[in-house]
């Protein structure tokens, strides 16, 4: 079994602070960068070794993502079509009716999803919406699906209501490194994001947090983002890695597509530093070849968003995923065949 110690990166491992399960939370940027920059074959070997020690390498979790409230967001995230500050042609909508949400959840379950993720384009939820959101959580959970919400920043009362409703996961991405973050978003700080993650964790809700590659960040920024997540008191149970989908009308509409090998390197590093977390291929799969996705799975990605649409962006769809899974010999995770090794 691979030892994720400083000795792997040429340093001394004796002073590492580890959890009772042996997970590290004291990664240094320089040592993580050494791993990220390893010869590609060596990096993939190490990531696959860690992956096999913690997961069945041929099982991939399917999640479905639904926008329950689209557009009109007050934030200025420079990658996002839902910001009210940008002319992207997206019309703002009201909070979706409960039955529409449940209809989508039923379809997701039929298509093999085990987790249903619901997102609202808010800076933070208003109290008048929390009862409806909590009911969505309760009724989707009653279908036997894991529940996830992404609603922006949360106060203590928001978290308490979501916990009482039985929410399994809360998604709140850090997006990029703390250094580069102000270049992407100015309406809330990196510390604001970490504060919400801390509230969620303290309440006993599982954390889903990752980032986006292709925002104009450096390779070191990508590594630093993963170091931030790996050094949280507990690793996020889910780590979504997104490839930017440059959307017309946003400040990043002309951004160059991130290099495919660099993307795989980030997946591999996430797997090595957070061995027990689900690493999810999220936005951008519609632009990825089968070969690139296969490399990502080999590097330790073991979760995808299924369905033909994410919040507002295209996704490959069920037929494409079935063909890809068949080609690679992958199986979808079910409650009866969990991918995580006990």
Tokens representing residue 275 in the block = 């061995």
Q: What are the tens digits of pLDDT across the range 201-249?
A: 999 999 999 999 999 999 999 999 999 999 999 999 999 999 998 888 8
Altogether, the residues listed in the chain come to a count of 342
- Is the separation of the CB atoms in 159 and 172 below 8 Å? no
Dihedral sign for Cα 52, 54, 59, 64, please: negative
Give me the DSSP letters along 34-86: HHHTS-HHHHHHHHHHHHHHHB-TTEEEEEEEEEEE-S-B----TT-TTBTTS
Residue 132 predicted with pLDDT over 90: yes
Query: 10 Å Cβ neighbour count for 18?
Result: 13
Q: What is the DSSP letter of 318?
A: H
pLDDT of residue 187: 92
pLDDT of residue 57: 95
To the nearest whole percent, how much of the chain has pLDDT over 70?
88
156-163 long-range contacts (CB < 8 A, ≥24 apart) are 156/199, 157/127, 158/124, 158/125, 158/130, 159/199, 159/200, 159/202, 159/203, 159/205, 160/203, 161/130, 161/134, 162/133, 162/134, 162/137, 162/203, 162/205, 163/203, 163/204, 163/205
Which ranges in the chain belong to alpha helices (H)? Answer: 29-36, 40-54, 98-110, 127-141, 156-165, 190-202, 219-230, 260-273, 290-298, 318-328
- 65/306 Cα distance (integer angstroms): 8
Return the CA Rg of the chain.
Answer: 19
pLDDT of residue 253: 85
Tokens representing residue 83 in the block = 């910001």
106, 147, 150, 88: which is closest to 311 by C-alpha?
Answer: 150
Q: Which pTM was predicted?
A: 0.87
Active-site residue set = 73, 77, 80, 117, 148, 208, 280
Residue 262 predicted with pLDDT over 90: yes
Mean of the pLDDT values across residues 100-107? 92
pLDDT of residue 185: 93
Q: Does 312 or 91 have the greater pLDDT score?
A: 91
pLDDT band at residue 75 using 50, 70 and 90 as cut-offs = confident
227, 242, 327, 325: which is closest to 287 by C-alpha?
Answer: 242
Which of 72-81, 103-112, 223-232: highest mean pLDDT?
Answer: 223-232
Residue 15 predicted with pLDDT over 60: no
Residue 287 predicted with pLDDT over 70: yes
44, 31, 2, 79: which is closest to 226 by C-alpha?
Answer: 31
Q: What are the tens digits of pLDDT across the range 172-199?
A: 999 999 999 999 999 999 999 999 999 9
Q: Name residue 208's beta-bridge partners.
A: 171, 238
Q: Across all residues in the chain, what is the average pLDDT? A: 87
């Amino acid at each position: 079994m691979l030892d994720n110690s400083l000795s792997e990166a040429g340093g001394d491992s004796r002073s590492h602070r580890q959890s009772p399960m042996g997970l590290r939370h004291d990664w240094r940027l320089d040592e993580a960068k050494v791993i990220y920059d390893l010869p590609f074959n060596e990096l993939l070997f190490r990531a696959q070794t860690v992956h096999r020690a913690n997961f069945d390498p041929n099982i991939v979790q399917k999640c479905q993502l639904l926008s329950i409230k689209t557009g009109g967001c007050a934030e200025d995230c420079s990658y996002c079509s839902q910001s009210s500050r940008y002319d992207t042609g997206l019309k703002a909508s009201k909070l979706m009716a409960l039955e529409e949400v449940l209809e989508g959840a039923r379809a997701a379950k039929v298509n093999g999803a085990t987790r249903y993720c619901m997102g609202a384009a808010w800076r933070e939820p208003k109290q008048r919406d929390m009862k409806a959101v909590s009911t969505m959580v309760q009724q989707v959970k009653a279908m036997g699906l894991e529940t996830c919400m992404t609603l922006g920043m949360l106060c203590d009362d928001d978290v308490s209501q979501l916990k009482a409703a039985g929410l399994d996961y809360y998604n709140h991405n850090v997006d990029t490194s703390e250094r580069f973050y102000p270049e992407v978003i100015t309406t809330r700080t990196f510390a604001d994001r970490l504060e919400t993650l801390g509230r969620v964790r303290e309440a006993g809700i599982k954390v889903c947090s990752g980032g986006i590659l292709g925002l104009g960040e450096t390779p070191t920024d990508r590594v630093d983002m993963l170091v931030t997540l790996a050094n949280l008191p507990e690793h996020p149970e889910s780590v979504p890695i997104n490839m930017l989908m440059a959307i017309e009308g946003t400040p990043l509409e002309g951004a160059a597509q991130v290099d495919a090998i660099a993307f795989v390197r980030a997946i591999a590093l996430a797997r090595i530093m957070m061995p027990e977390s689900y690493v999810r291929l999220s936005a951008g799969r519609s632009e990825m070849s089968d070969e690139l996705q296969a490399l990502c799975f080999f590097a330790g990605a073991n979760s995808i968003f299924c369905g033909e649409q994410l919040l507002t962006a295209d996704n490959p769809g069920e037929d494409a995923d079935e063909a890809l899974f068949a080609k690679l010999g992958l199986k979808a995770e079910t409650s009866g065949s969990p991918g995580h090794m006990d």
